[in-house]
Amino acid sequence: MKLLKNILFATDFSRSSAQALSMCIDVAKTLGSQVFLLHVIENGHLPDLTLNMVKSAAIEALEKIGYDLHQNGIKVPHKFVLNGVPFDKIIKYADFYNVNLVIIGSGDFAKNEPFPLGLTAQKVVRKSAKPVWVVKNYPEKGIQRIICPVDFSEVSEKALQNAIHFARNFESELLVTHVVEPITGGFIGGIAFEEDQDDIFETEQQQFLEFLEKFDFFNIQWHHMLKRGPAFASILETIDSYKPDLLIMGSTGRVGISRLLLGSVAEKVTRQLPCSFIVEKQDEPIQVITEAKHNDLQSLYAEGNELLEKEFLREAIEEFEQCLNIDLYYEPAWTALSIAYDRLGDTKNAEHCRKRAMQIHETNWKKKVRAEIRSKSAIFNKTTKHF
């Protein structure tokens, strides 16, 4: 089973890209991904001889990266060295090969910037339809903390679902945050609408709790935090205090998060983030890719259990149902279905599956007892014939 099939790793062979490569290897090994490699030589006025030398050196460097990936058990289907505008080629190749995720380094930056983000990374984040993981630093101890700001929109719902999957697979702690922004222009005669502000805060607090109830945080260490204030400043403040290794966020949504990520504010936000981050658009990076379909009952059951363990509950249910298509009386599949439905909060189906498992267990037990009685009876009859 693969959770993230295709990664595009774009490199400029800089120190930043080396950090991103280390992260890419960890992600590909953990999530069962294959990696496409890309380097883009910027358009310029290089003489043909010089350009050929640069291209040869780039091919050699990309081959070395491919070898490192191969040594880590990671498949590299294609390696590309292209001429052109880097961000444009990265976006086009991500779309052409329909990758699940683009991984890039944070790139070059001005020396006076405390939290750098290069021009190529900025443009890829803003223009790519695919999820983009910008690596600012590689955490030697792994991804220990993840933060996910939400605004209750569909895209932030997807972002949180993927944050949960990343947290589960990397055994990371997860913090889910929501910011209640103040009412703008809330003064009449110098008196603020404090009661309105409090009412809005209480309403959004309830919405936040209801939003979180949609998700399965089973087997994850997680927390949630509700803050009041400007979304931009509040999220940066939370990041500064929580010190996450990774931020996962949606790129569109309602007022609040969407303002952080779209238009002229986008560069300001991404520049000031001190940690690596994933920006998601409409495409989701984490998708379950099962192996080629088969009719082997044990293999289907094992694959279903793996999905269940990683909390892909609906996908696990499909695998267990395939088991029952082969053998309707396969007790382990009924038991596993009851667990999956329980975690989905579907008590009716969970109870039905539990009863079926118990009925089959009792039937099998009775068959076993009768078989043992017949066996002992046959032995007894053979013994008595000798007397």
Question: Any idea what the CATH number is for the domain that residue 111 is in?
Answer: 3.40.50.620
Same domain, 321 and 188: no
Domain range holding 303?
A: 297-384
CB 176 within 8 A of CB 160: yes
Same domain, 128 and 234: no
Same domain, 38 and 120: yes
Under DSSP, the state recorded for 328 is T
Place of tokens 């382990």: 332
Give residue 351's Cα distance to chain centre: 31
Same domain, 144 and 167: yes
Order of all β-strands in the sheet with 6-10: 79-84, 34-42, 6-10, 101-105, 132-135, 276-280, 246-250, 145-149, 173-180, 222-228
pLDDT (tens digit, 0 to 9) for every residue of the chain, 387 residues total? 456 889 999 999 999 999 999 999 999 999 989 999 999 998 776 777 778 899 999 999 999 999 999 999 999 999 999 998 999 999 999 999 999 999 999 876 555 554 556 888 888 988 888 999 999 888 888 899 999 999 888 888 888 999 999 999 999 999 999 988 887 655 555 455 666 778 888 899 999 999 999 898 988 999 999 999 888 788 889 999 999 999 998 876 444 444 444 333 334 556 677 788 888 776 666 555 555 445 688 888 888 888 888 888 888 898 898 888 888 889 999 999 999 999 888 999 999 999 999 998 888 887 776 766 666 565 545 555 555
E strand or H helix at 176: strand 173-180
Same domain, 238 and 266: yes
Counted domains in the chain: 3
Last residue of a domain, one of 263, 289, 315: 289
Same domain, 32 and 161: no
Last residue of a domain, one of 231, 265, 289: 289
Same domain, 302 and 347: yes
Nearest CA among 174, 166, 175 for reference residue 4: 166
Same domain, 146 and 283: yes
Compute CA distances 246 → 53, 141, 161, 270, whole Å: 38, 13, 15, 13
CA distance between the termini of the chain: 62
Q: Could you give the count of Cα atoms lying within 13 Å of 80 in the half-sphere of its Cβ?
A: 20
Q: Phi and psi for 199 in degrees, rounded to 5?
A: -65, -45
Same domain, 192 and 257: yes
Place of tokens 């309403």: 203
Compute CA distances 211 → 90, 150, 235, whole Å: 35, 9, 19
Same domain, 244 and 356: no
Same domain, 322 and 333: yes
Last residue of a domain, one of 116, 138, 160: 138
Domain holding 304: CATH number?
Answer: 1.25.40.10
Bridge partners, residue 279, by sequence: 132, 249
Same domain, 2 and 112: yes
